[in-house]
Amino acid sequence: MRLPVSSPAQPGGVVLWELRKALRAWLAQHAPAQARVCVALSGGADSLALTAALAREHTAVEALVVDHGLQPESAQTAARAAQLALDLGCSGSRVLPVTVNGAGGLEAAARTARQAALRQAGAGSPVLLGHTLDDQAETVLLGLARGSGPRSIQGMRAWDDPWGRPLLGVRRAMTRAVCAELGVQPHEDPMNTDPRFVRARLRAEVLPLLEDVLQGGVAEALARTADAVRADNGHLDEEAAAVYAKIGGAKIAVTDVAGLPGPIRRRVLRLWLMGNGAGALTETQIRSVDALASAWRGQGPVAVPAAGPQGGGRRLMARRSYGRLELEIR
């Protein structure tokens, strides 16, 4: 990773200017001019381009570099990225060492550790991430493969406190072009091209094949789909929240939900489950609980995951009893 050949005080080239315009629109909506803003810097092209643009558009920018410790020279790579952030004009930078362990495989464990470190270091300030339109397309494809309903294909939000994603309308090629303009060589994380990881194969094999077969425009179409589904979900979520505010509690009367339209009813039940200790829920689990209210045949209780790290050793069971839905801990 070499330092930029141009001064950080200089405005940069044409491509950087385009990136700055995209970032400026996000900042105007979500970050007051004098407020501290953090940027998650991995040293890759996306986060480097975002950091360079952010340092030119905002006055108080701190770069947060997570060292996952998964490669032999990860500490040196993180230190170089932190120094480069200062060279690009950030007002501060920090390296955040983390320990990667836990359930869900290496990718999930690394993401959990990274998010926890960034959230703590951000201390309530927005933490900007370098996710691009290409990342959004990959996320939608992963959601489609899971088959977990519309919530899984709505993609990432531009603002999901504390996470800011101002580059969701920007192609990955632009971030690489920005780095080239600045004379910066991005760090290439070997995990991004390791075929053992599903997202790496989507990036290297699946999306290029789809673009070829469908003659282009696939990534943009997937991103537009995410935007449309997210808008629909938002409307349905608001309706469900209004219903749940009237009937929610430790138990729910079946008569209060059975007659609701299916999309609203399942959202109400999701709110009820999560409001009473359930954690990350799949569409299959929600539909099984829904059947207790809408397709009752005397079926037994439904196991759902408890909130917290690995459920905190608890097991939750949703069941129907005397015309009410209730959760019990086992």
Sequence-distant (6+) residues with CB within 8 A of 137 are 207, 218, 219, 220, 222, 223
Is 313 marked within a binding site? no
What integer is the mean pLDDT of 107-131?
Answer: 93
User: Is 188 part of a structural domain of the chain?
Assistant: yes
Q: Which CATH number characterizes residue 120's domain?
A: 3.40.50.620
Say how many C-beta atoms besides its own lie within 10 A of residue 73's C-beta: 9
pLDDT at residue 156 above 80? yes
Same domain? For 289 and 176 the reply is no
Is 298 marked within a binding site? no
Same domain? For 178 and 35 the reply is yes
The pLDDT > 70 percentage for the chain reads 94
Same domain? For 171 and 268 the reply is no
What pLDDT is attached to residue 329?
A: 85
Q: Is the peptide bond before 162 cis (omega within 30 degrees of 0)?
A: yes
User: Is 228 part of a structural domain of the chain?
Assistant: no
User: Is 207 part of a structural domain of the chain?
Assistant: no
User: Is 224 part of a structural domain of the chain?
Assistant: no
- What is the Cα–Cα distance from 105 to 108, expressed in whole angstroms? 6
Same domain? For 264 and 176 the reply is no
Per 3-state DSSP, the chain is made up of helix, strand and coil in percentages (nearest 5) of 55, 15, 35
- What is the Cα–Cα distance from 37 to 227, expressed in whole angstroms? 25
Q: What is the pLDDT of residues 193-209, one digit of tens each?
A: 888 888 899 999 999 99
pLDDT range class, residue 6, cuts 50, 70, 90: very low
- What is the Cα–Cα distance from 90 to 93, expressed in whole angstroms? 7
Q: Which has more confidence, 148 or 311?
A: 148
Same domain? For 64 and 171 the reply is yes
Same domain? For 25 and 111 the reply is yes
Same domain? For 34 and 167 the reply is yes
User: Is 298 part of a structural domain of the chain?
Assistant: yes
- Structurally, the chain folds into a number of domains equal to 2
Q: Are strands 61-67 and 92-97 parallel, antiparallel or unpaired?
A: parallel
pLDDT range class, residue 2, cuts 50, 70, 90: very low
Q: Which CATH number characterizes residue 325's domain?
A: 3.30.465.60
What pLDDT is attached to residue 164?
A: 96
Q: Domain residues for 296?
A: 248-329
Q: State the average pLDDT for the chain.
A: 90
Is 47 marked within a binding site? yes
Place of tokens 């580059």: 167
Is 87 marked within a binding site? no
- What is the Cα–Cα distance from 133 to 16, expressed in whole angstroms? 17
pLDDT range class, residue 316, cuts 50, 70, 90: very high
Least confident window among 52-66, 89-103, 129-143 = 89-103
**pTM, two decimal places:** 0.86
Place of tokens 């689990």: 285
Is 105 marked within a binding site? no
What pLDDT is attached to residue 4?
A: 40
Q: Tell me if 247 sits within 8 A of 253, measured CB to CB.
A: yes
User: Is 267 part of a structural domain of the chain?
Assistant: yes
User: Is 2 part of a structural domain of the chain?
Assistant: no
Is 189 marked within a binding site? no
User: Is 204 part of a structural domain of the chain?
Assistant: no
